[in-house]
Chains A and B, each alone.
Chain A
Amino acid sequence: MNINLFSFLIVCLFFVIVIESVRRGILETKDALIWLFLSVILGILSLSRGLLELIADWLGIVYAPSLLFLFGLLSTIIMIFDLTRRISKLNQKVIHLTQEFALLKEQQRNSSSEFEEKRKENI
């Protein structure tokens, strides 16, 4: 089995895993989009050596497979950056929730102690 077929099979397996994760509700559809897009492109590139060489030639890359590395590396960096942005956003949400929780709890404690006092007055 040559490397082209081997990598194509891996990409196919990956594609199925992504679809399956969405189906089971582990991965959100909007997060799956970029992975599906990536695996389709990788699938095409790994099968058609001609296309890879054409693009490599066009970009002035002597050794065509290194284009795959470039593509893989770039998309990894972009995705990690996207993840960091999402973490920052989630972090803000967690902070906001934590603060609201503490404020509400104080409010609740306050109103229940007021309630207790009123009850005692009535007795």
Chain B
Amino acid sequence: MNIKTIPKTIIIVPAYNEEASIATTLTSLIELSNQIDRLEICVVNDGSTDRTKEIIDTFDIVSLHLPQNLGIGGAVQTGYKYAYNHGFEIAVQFDADGQHNVHDLLELIEPIIKEEEDMVIGSRFLKKTDYKGSKTRRIGIYYFYIVLKLLTKKRFTDPTSGYRAINRKVITLFAHHYPKDYPEPEVLMHLNRKNMRIKEVTANMHARLGGESSITPMKSIYYFGKVTLSILMQSIVKE
């Protein structure tokens, strides 16, 4: 696909202690934005304690520096609030660790430009991709696939993917309400309840360039419990 003009779009890059990979990620994003009009990049520095801030400041992009660490949910929401305040039509969440592929971005936003979908998720499992995650990670993802399928009757093959594009309607929703820690699966439940149209497209993901996953083995038990509970809560929560 080759589009030069798209609706006002912003790429939100949440970054927490990503000094090893942030420069590469931003460089490839800037290359892309130079080819496309009205594509802006916004990086949210989630109170990093390493050199992430200094590296970000060398780039000429929108940078939001949180004075303290809020976790992925709070950081991404800051980006959505920026998108909401500045009238962006499309927002794309893009990981700073180099896992996401810039070339999939247009595929992600195409259904939104055509106004066919409200959210598009880049999935590693829709078709077979080169993605090689650990077995435990795959089991975890499959677990949330099952839970969400039971509750929504819909297929989300990659419910933990952080590579997502949303339209103005969902930006408005997220600017006002966004789950706090480990938000990805919970968001799907929330949007499904709001009758938003969600679609998955195939996205290739690389192994991370550097930094650490936000989910360490020690945290994974808490992660499963918390996310399962919040997904279940989403189905009964008061609006």
Contacts and interface: CB of A to CB of B under 8 A. Distances in A.
A98 B68 contact: yes
Given A103-B81, A103-B82, A95 B67 contact: no
Contacts of B68: 98
Nearest to A95: B74
A101 interface: yes
A17 B81 CA distance: 45
- Give the interface size class of chain B: 10 to 19
Contacts, number: 35
A106 B66 contact: no
B190 interface: no
Nearest to A88: B180
B77 interface: yes
Interface string A89-108: 00000010011011101100
B67 A101 contact: yes
A106 B180 contact: no
Contacts of A103: 64, 78, 81-82, 85
Interface string A63-85: 00000000000000000000000
Contacts of A99: 66, 70, 74, 77-78, 81
Interface string B171-211: 00000000010000000000000000000000000000000
Nearest to B73: A95
A105 B62 CA distance: 11
B67 A98 contact: yes
A75 to B, nearest CB: 27
Contacts of B67: 98, 101-102
Nearest to B71: A95
Contacts of A101: 66-67
A95 B70 CA distance: 7
B222 to A, nearest CB: 17
Contacts of A98: 66-68, 70, 74, 78
B62 A102 contact: no
Nearest to B44: A102
Nearest to A92: B180
Nearest to B64: A102
Given A98-B67, A99-B81, A101-B67, A106 B74 contact: no
A106 B78 CA distance: 12
B234 interface: no
Nearest to A110: B62
B8 interface: no
A17 B38 CA distance: 63
Contacts of B62: 106
Interface of A: 95, 98-99, 101-103, 105-106
9 contacts: A95-B70, A99-B74, A99-B81, A101-B66, A102-B65, A103-B64, A103-B78, A103-B85, A106-B63
Interface of B: 44, 62-68, 70, 74, 77-78, 81-82, 85, 180
Given A99-B70, A105-B65, 15 more contacts: A95-B70, A95-B180, A98-B67, A98-B68, A98-B74, A98-B78, A99-B81, A102-B64, A102-B67, A102-B78, A103-B81, A103-B82, A105-B64, A106-B62, A106-B82
